[in-house]
């Protein structure tokens, strides 16, 4: 049983009231879909709340796709708070700060991780990177679109929150994986992220991954709650990509600086991750159904 996100008490229905009022005003055109990377399969992993497991999912997804023969570029888009380098146990010589300062080109900062995954590393602890001006972010997006053409798949690990950096990098993915746990705050913030992506970036195809859940049924319940609210108040239907259970193998892998599909391939988390990847491969791009 997931105690969370009750109608009438949380952000969704409150926004729903505002939306109901807004719907009496003259209809406005929905925003045009922000331009995603379209030369490679581009998957943005995002959330509203931090600490839900985006970086772990991104790193393990990248390794799993690479093992299946895909050439994978992994972008650390948590610009001011790098973490993928630690998750993958690599030591970048330069990072995105050097690119933004014009000292390095994007391809010059790439670090190779396990299974040949290419990482574009972010910078640890840089406020100016966390709050990148629009024109610099646009330049970075343009460079990424160009680099993406060299890969089968690009995975974008965004920061948390609904700020311009996070939303901008999330919308760069042609597919968006929205990560949430069963916690009320995580669910509410996931809804907030779905709303901003839909209303600001014209995104209507979003897939949910429930992470750190107790069992498959709990994962499905998390999805149903989030999807119910999104359908009611945003008129978009979220897809369910699956869940990864809470598993002690994950924090152990984090401590070792190795993705769990490498350090604990038979763990519950790794097996669940493989199921998610199978679904990602079999089901292709989400359709973005309107409720």
Query: According to CB under 5 A, which one of 55, 60, 211, 263 is a site residue for Mg ion?
Result: 55
CA-CA distances (angstroms) from residue 216 to 3, 187, 211, 219, 223? 16, 17, 10, 5, 11
Beta bridge partners of 77: 158
Q: Is 66 helix (H, G, I), strand (E, B) or coil?
A: helix
Cβ(181)–Cβ(151) below 8 Å: no
Smallest distance, Mg ion to C-beta of residue 28, A:
34
| Residue 130 makes contact with ligand ADP by CB under 6 A | no
Cβ(264)–Cβ(252) below 8 Å: yes
| Residue 212 makes contact with Mg ion by CB under 5 A | no
Q: How far is CA 44 from the centre of its chain?
A: 4
Binding residues among 65-124 for ligand ADP as defined by CB under 6 A: 83
| Residue 56 makes contact with Mg ion by CB under 5 A | no
| Residue 46 makes contact with Mg ion by CB under 5 A | no
Q: Is 29 exposed, middle or buried (0-12, 13-18, 19+ CB in 10 A)?
A: exposed
Q: By C-beta, is 83 or 181 nearer to Mg ion?
A: 83
| Residue 186 makes contact with ligand ADP by CB under 6 A | no
| Residue 270 makes contact with Mg ion by CB under 5 A | no
| Residue 227 makes contact with Mg ion by CB under 5 A | no
Distance between CA 252 and CA 255 in Å, rounded?
A: 5
Number of residues this chain uses to bind Mg ion (CB under 5 A): 3
Query: Interface mask (CB under 6 A) for ligand ADP, residues 34-73, using x and -?
Result: -------------x--xxxxxxx-----------------
The residues binding ligand ADP (CB under 6 A) are 47, 50-56, 83, 160, 211-212, 244, 246-247, 250-251, 254, 269
């Amino acid at each position: 049983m997931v105690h969370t996100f009750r109608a009438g008490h949380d952000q969704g229905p409150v926004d729903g009231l505002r939306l109901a009022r807004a719907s009496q005003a003259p209809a406005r055109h929905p925003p045009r879909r922000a331009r995603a990377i379209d030369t490679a399969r581009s998957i943005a992993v995002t959330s509203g709340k931090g600490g839900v497991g985006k970086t772990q999912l991104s790193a393990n997804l990248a390794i799993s796709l690479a093992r299946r023969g895909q050439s994978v570029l992994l972008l650390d888009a948590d610009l001011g708070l790098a973490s993928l380098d630690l998750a993958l146990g690599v030591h970048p010589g330069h990072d995105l700060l050097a690119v933004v300062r014009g000292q390095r080109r994007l391809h010059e900062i790439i670090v190779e991780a396990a299974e040949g995954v290419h990482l574009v590393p972010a910078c640890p602890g840089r406020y100016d990177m966390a709050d990148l001006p629009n024109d610099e972010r646009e330049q970075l997006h343009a460079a990424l679109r160009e680099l993406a053409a060299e890969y089968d798949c690009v995975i974008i690990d965004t920061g948390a929150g609904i700020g311009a950096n996070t939303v901008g990098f999330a919308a760069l993915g042609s597919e968006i994986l929205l990560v949430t746990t069963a916690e009320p705050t995580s669910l509410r913030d996931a809804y907030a992220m779905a709303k901003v992506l839909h209303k600001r970036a014209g995104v209507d195809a979003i897939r949910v991954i429930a992470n750190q859940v107790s069992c498959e049924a709990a994962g499905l319940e998390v999805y149903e709650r989030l999807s119910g609210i999104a359908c009611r108040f945003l008129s978009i239907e979220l897809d369910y990509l699956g869940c990864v259970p809470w598993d002690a193998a994950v924090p152990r892998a984090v401590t070792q600086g190795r993705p769990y599909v490498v350090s604990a391939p038979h763990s519950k988390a790794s097996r669940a991750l493989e199921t998610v990847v199978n679904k990602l491969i079999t089901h292709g791009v989400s359709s973005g159904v309107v409720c």
